[in-house]
Structure 1
Amino acid sequence: MSKSGSIKDGEKGPYDAVPTNGEGGGDEIKLEAKMSLLNGVTVIVGSIIGSGIFVSPTGVLKYTGSVNASLLVWTASGLFSMVGAYCYAELGCMIRKSGADYAYIMETFGPFMAFIRLWVECMIVRPCSQAIVALTFSIYVLKPVFPDCSPPDDAVRMLAACCICILAFINCWDVKWATRVQDVFTYAKLLALFIIIITGVYQLCTGHTEHFTFKDTKTEVTSIALSFYSGLFAYNGWNYLNFIIEELKDPVRNLPKAIGISCTLVTIVYVLTNVAFYTTLSPVEIEGSEAVAVTFANRLFGVMAWTIPVFVALSTFGAVNGILLTSSRLFYAGACEGQMPEILTMIQVSRLTPTPAVLCMALLSMLYLCSSDIFALINYVGFATWLSIGVSVLCLPWLRWAQPNLPRPIRVNLAFPIVYILATLFVTIVPMYASPIETGYGCLMILSSVPVYFAFIAWKNKPKFFQKSVVNATQFLQKIMLVVGKSKPAQV
């Protein structure tokens, strides 16, 4: 991953800031802090609320066995996410770099551990997740056109690819456009959920409470852990704002506020939405439904039932945008540390967006659209995702011990990271016993990062022909995309 040979402004290095006024001073080519507190809230809410709340109730109920137990899991999953987000607030204000988990692990445990996290997240988890949400979007868009059968597979994949391409263009064009898209579609998905919640409140007031019992509750440890997998999947995304902290105005003030507001709002909405579902649908109906919200609408909304698939489509469209907006910054952060190709560090000259990183994320996601077994792939690495987040939270007490003098605008009580780490061990180790095949594949995916690290990162004296090829490719892509390097990231 060579850092030499790219196009520079005069004699400037690839990490030096590039003046934009032609006089050698003034404005620099760099990511700008354009995001307000409201934008931060909508990024988190929009990233969390995707397809999960509309389909995950089935998975949670399957492993808990009863309605009341499933509601407890939804509440506990929200609290679990809040504790993790609270820990991330200290880390984000202490280590103000784009990349979140990756940056924290890099600062604490070094480049090898950080690269493992980067590899799993960038090459597998994020593009897979984005592909799945894009597929969900296209299925719900096409649902009204094919009311009595499943939409054609090719049409679903083509529409998903179009969704990713449109959002890639928006994110390449302007961060403000991307955040406006996030704002609008976050409001749309919240409106959909509020409609479901209000309907559920009406159902409660008319006495539909027969399903709220602990009957048939499963008490096996493995079942409890697997139920949290489904619940936590729906909450995934609470840490996404940390990935773009360089673009958030006044992060010390706005990051913890955005996290607190978002996680509280999502937890309340999720629990009330599940309550609404259970006022109308029995556990048997929910377990047999692939899209609980659509089944709910078909039972209660009559001729207006089509509105819910539309709102779910809007919800997933916003979620794809949130994943793309934040994931491209993870590629960018990894490249700034020399652990990904140099081209991904670069900023588009006129638009001031990380165009190469956005396009890389979009292309990887579209590659995963070719696979017919993406859901199994996500299950294989699900435990690795939570394990790596647990390692990120471990950075907090470790840095308290190893670097006590680091500036900490926010100081979290150490009880929070300790509780979070213990809970993370529970939801990762127990499913390894319950689903050894899936976790085995996940371990193989993680271990695949080791040869890549030693071949491309640790090995410094690469053959000259390889280095020259990398330089030529970098220069060609710079000319095509009109991008230049930014200033070296500030050290903590």
Structure 2
Amino acid sequence: MGHRENEDDKPIYQSPTEEQEQQGTGLKPTLTLFNGVMIIVGCIIGSGIFVSPKGVHEHAGSVGLSLLIWIICGVFSAIGAYCYAELGTFIRESGGDYAYVYAAFGPLMGFLRMWIECIIVRPCTITCVAITFATYILKPIFPNCEPPFPTLQVLAALCILLLAMVNCASVKLVGKVQDVFTMAKLFALALIIFTGFILLLIGTPYTDSFENMFEGSRYGMGSLALAFYSGLWAYNGWNYLNFVTEELIDPTKNLPRAIAISCTLCTVIYALTNLAFYAGTSADDLLESPAIAVLFANRFYWYFAPAMPILVALSCFGTVNGVMYTSSRLFYVAGRREHMPVVLSFINPYLGTPIPAVLFTALLSLFYILLSDNIYVLISYVQIVNWLAIGVATAGLLWLRVKKPPRDYPRPLQVNIIWPIIFLIGCALLVIFPIYQTPMDTAIGILIMLTGIPAYYLGVICRGKSKKGDEFMGQFFDIQIVSRAELSRAEPS
């Protein structure tokens, strides 16, 4: 990054103070309601719907219970998103859970939420979906065998780098990419759903899976918890629009509307897609096939079957784009609060994008490609902690009702108190049951989260005693680091 002619005395990136944000030099609201819906749908519908049906059925044990779990997972996610809509319209700052926990419980709790999300959950998710993209895009070339090493890793890295460039270039370009690829994944699922309806109208043998639908159901709490984990993994992303609230036009109206439309749409699509899978394949096929959508396409689309893995790959590509976009805003807000290096809060004034935060997100994701053989194990370690953190954010909603009561601090949207209570109980169950089922994984996940405490001490409490970190990153990005005091005195560029 260089400097423009005759502007050497001005920093290319600026860390926005409150005054500058009011003058319009911070992130600007450019996302419409349609863009918001596409971001949520694009983040939710990724590889999960093509991978999770096997896990849900394996633990549920029957067709009927599996379909019921898919619907309940959708309703549960919608309740959580509804609660987050109150938080997002009351605390109109990007950063999602991090901003809400920070406001409710203070900087340490906020930092721990940010730490587990920034360092592991988000970059690991990007890497996993990018590898899934590479796997499916190569499926027509290697239909019956695994691609040679390191083809998958290189293609996944190229996917991450390409989308990092898109995210650096323009927010509007990110929105257009998200819109196009979300429509592509909706087309793929619509094709599967339409085929399923035709099969059900034909009747036998395509309706055989629905006879005695609940036979073999497993109602043990451990089995149900694991089935819900698989289903909820496919709905992951329902709270991602909250991470870019500042860039949403009229968030008070458009945030809850986007959440309502997206969660309803995804729940209906997921239920109908699974219905189609059960119509076109048997329960045994579902358990044996690692790629149920490809098996479905090979069975019913003949010469057009190779198009299905391409459509699945496009679905994953759009998800990487959405997760990278929202994740970079989490780094951006953390840098603005000085919970991460301040340089991550700097915005390119010509492009209007937080390029350091985007590149840092991409670099972390590329690092996890090196650990791709064990990355799913790492994600399993932090899933319990992730739901614990979501529960803490929901508890923050209840605490803010006490700390800042609605009579003194009116909410643009105030949900009935029963919904956060129901969602908080659900989060507690999702944390408690895995502790009983897999205590070692839970302990490792909690230990990973607790590594944030020494990081908070060294990076936040001891900040100011050494400026080497920001100076190094400033040299890395070829930018001029200026203090907040200097920024507050500077004239707007």
Tell whether the structures are fold-level matches, with TM greater than 0.5.
yes
Pairwise CA distance, 1:139: 0.7
Distance in 1, matches of 2:161 and 2:14, equals 32
Instruction: Please say if 1:77 is aligned against 2:78.
Output: no
Structure 1 residue 298 and structure 2 residue 298: aligned?
Answer: yes
1:430 to 430, 433, 451: 433
What residue identity is the alignment partner of 1:160?
Answer: A
Kindly provide the amino acid, as one letter, of the partner of residue 398 in structure 2. P
Q: Which amino acid in the other structure matches residue 433 of structure 1? A: Y
Change (3 A) 1:14 1:219: closer
Deviation, 1:402, is 1.3
Counting matched residue pairs gives: 472
Distance 1:483 1:153, change over 3 A: farther
- CA offset at residue 475 of structure 1? 3.6
Please give the alpha-carbon distance, in whole angstroms, between the structure 2 residues aligned to 1:13 and 1:192. 42
> What is the SS of the residue equivalent to 1:211?
helix
Task: Tell me what 2:354 maps to.
Answer: 354
Give secondary structure in 1 for the equivalent of 2:412.
Answer: coil
Checking the alignment, whether the CA contact within 8 Å between 2:63 and 2:209 is kept in structure 1 is yes
Aligned to 1:232: 232
Structure 2 gap segments, 5+ residues each: 1-7, 489-493
Tell me the residue number matched to 2:472: 473
Q: Deviations over 1:369-420 (max 9, x none)?
A: 0111111111111111111111111111111111112230001000000000
Q: For structure 1, which runs of at least 5 residues remain unmatched after alignment?
A: 1-6, 20-24
Instruction: Confirm or deny that 1:148 pairs with 2:144.
Output: yes
How many Å separate the matches in 2 of 1:434 and 1:487? 52
Contact 2:40 2:262 in 1 (8 A): yes
Structure 2 partner of 1:196:
192
Deviations 1:6-61 (A, max 9, x none): x9859x99543798xxxxx9964321100000000000000000000001000000
The answer to whether the Cα contact below 8 Å between 1:204 and 1:279 also exists between their aligned partners in 2 is yes
Q: Equivalents in 2 of 1:484, 1:42: separation in Å?
A: 37
Structure 1 residue aligned with 2:5: none
In structure 1, the residue matched to 2:410 is 407
Residue from 442, 462, 470 that aligns with 1:459:
462
Deviation at 1:470, TM superposition (A): 3.1
Q: Which residue identity lines up with residue 472 of structure 1 in the other structure?
A: E
The CA deviation string for residues 424-448 of structure 1, in whole angstroms up to 9 with x for no partner, is 1111110111112221221111111
The answer as to 2:260 corresponding to 1:260 is yes
CA distance in 2, matches of 1:437, 1:291: 30
Note closer, same or farther for the CA distance 1:79–1:8 as it changes in structure 2 (3 Å cut): farther
Percent pairwise identity: 47
User: CA 1:76–1:164 in structure 2 vs 1: closer, same or farther (change >3 Å)?
Assistant: same
Match of 1:247 in 2: 247
Letter in 2 for 1:440: A
Deviation at 1:487, TM superposition (A): 8.2
Distance 1:80 1:59 in 2: 18
In structure 2, the residue matched to 1:368 is 368
Partner of 1:214: 214
CA contact 2:474–2:480 (8 Å) conserved in 1: no
- Measure, in 2, the Cα distance between the counterparts of 1:115 and 1:487: 25
Aligned twin of 1:30? 26
Separation (CA, whole Å) in 2 of partners of 1:352 and 1:301: 44
Stretch of structure 1 that moved more, 421-430 or 453-462: 453-462
Q: Please tell me whether the aligned partners of residues 14 and 346 of structure 2 are also in contact (alpha carbons under 8 angstroms).
A: no
| Distance (Å, rounded) in 1 between the aligned partners of 2:83 and 2:360 | 30
Structure 1 residues 194 and 300: CA distance shift in structure 2, 3 A: same
TM-score scaled by structure 2?
Answer: 0.92
Residue type of the alignment partner of 1:153: F
Task: Report matched runs for 1:433-448 at 5 Å.
Answer: 433-448=436-451
Distance 1:9 1:15 in 2: 14
- Determine the C-alpha separation between the residues in 1 that align with 2:133 and 2:482: 32
CA distance in 1, matches of 2:151, 2:483: 38
What is the identity, as a one-letter code, of the residue corresponding to 2:197? V
CA contact (8 A) 1:81 1:235 kept: yes
